[in-house]
Amino acid sequence: MTRQSHPHHEPEPAAAPAPGLAVEARGLHKAYGAVHVLDGVDLRVRSGDVFALLGPNGAGKTTTVRILATLLAADGGTARVAGHDVTAERARVRRAISLTGQYAALDAQQTGAENLRMMARLSGLSRPAAARRATELLERFDLAGAARRRVATYSGGMRRRLDLAASLVGAPSVLFLDEPTTGLDPRSRLAVWEVVGELARGGVTVFLTTQYLEEADRLADRIAVIDGGRIVAEGTAAELKRRVAGTRLDLTLTDPAAYRHAADLLDTLVVRRDPERLLLGVTTDGRAADVRRLLDAVDPEHRLVQRFALHTATLDDVFLTLTGGTPATPAAATISEESSRV
C-alpha cells in the first residue's frame, strides 16, 4: 500500500522531555492512503513502569510501537523515548531501547550462547565482554543448561526467553515487547510473565502490547486501550474495571425471546452480551437491594431469568465495552478473581 503524506498532520516541533517519563507521545497520526491507522494517539509512560497497550487486531498497537522504536515515521505528532525525540534523535533513542517482536529473531542453527555472543559483539562489546554478558544472561533467564544446544532444538518458551535475553544485551532503559507471548502454551506464557516482572523490578521500563487480557491485568502498572487508532481509555486495571462496572450481574435467560426482551429493557446497563449462551452482563453496585431491583425490572413474573451470578468486573468487560471486539484466545483471556501480578 502506498504511503501518502497528510499536510494537515505535519510533525510539530519537539517539546522538552517531561521529567520522570520514559515514553511520551502527543497526537501521533499515521495513515496509508485513506486508512487512518493512528488518529491522534497520546501516551505517557513513567520510568520503571510496565505499561500495556491493549486492543484488538488492527487497532494500531504495532504501528505505535514501530513509531516509538524509530522504525516507522509518523505523519504527525511528536514522541520522545528515554528523553530523546524519535525523529530528531533517532540514534540516541535506538541506543536506549530494545524491541522484541511477536516472533523470536534468532539464528536457529547457532547455540543459545552463540546467539547471545553474536548480539553482544554487534552491540560493540569486546570478545571477552560479549562472552561474559552471554553467560550472565543465560543464567538470568534459566537457560544455562541449554547454552550449547542449537536453538532449533529449543521449545517455544525457551526461544522466547532467549529472545528476551538477546534484547537485554545492550542493557536498554526501555524495552518494547510487541505481543511477546503470541503462540505460546500457558506454561511458557507464565514463564515469560515471570521474566517481565523481574525486568520491571530491576528498573527497566517495559512497554507491552497484547491482546491477552490476563497478561495486561497481571503485569501492567497502567493500561491504555486502543481501538480504531485512538486511545479510548487509560488507567490502572482497577480504575478501568470500575469505569465499566464495579460489579457485574450475569443473567442467563430462558430462551431467545426472553434474551431480546431483557437486552432491550436493560439497554445501556448491559456490558456483556452472549446470545449463544443467552447471557447478559449488567452493571450493578453489588448491593442486594440493587440486584433485586434489576431482577424485578427484567423478570417481574419470575419466568424469563433462568439463573443469575454476581461477579467483580474484569478487563474482559472493559475490552468488550470499550472496543466491541473479541479478546484473543478466550481461555487465556478469562481473568479469575484470584489473578495477581507476577
Average confidence (pLDDT) over 257-284? 89
Q: Give the model's confidence band at 29: pLDDT under 50 very low, under 70 low, under 90 confident, else very high.
A: very high
The tens digit of pLDDT for each residue in 219-231 reads 999 999 998 899 9
**pTM score:** 0.69
Average confidence (pLDDT) over 183-193? 81
- Can you list the domains of the chain with their CATH numbers? 19-235 (3.40.50.300), 241-326 (3.30.70)
Q: Return the percent helix, strand and coil in the chain, to nearest 5.
A: 40, 25, 35
Give dist(CA 115, CA 71) in Å, integer.
23
Write down the pLDDT at residue 17. Answer: 54
Give dist(CA 265, CA 299) in Å, integer.
10
Write down the pLDDT at residue 330. Answer: 34
Residue at 104: amino acid letter: A
135 or 58, which is more confident: 135
Nearby residues of 139 by Cβ (< 8 Å), 6 or more positions away: none
Q: Tell me how far CA of residue 328 lies from CA of 56, 238, 284, 308, in angstroms.
A: 8, 21, 27, 26
Q: Give the model's confidence band at 65: pLDDT under 50 very low, under 70 low, under 90 confident, else very high.
A: very high
Residue 18 confidence (pLDDT) above 70: no
Give dist(CA 179, CA 74) in Å, integer.
21
CB-based burial label for 340 (10 Å; 0-12, 13-18, 19+): exposed
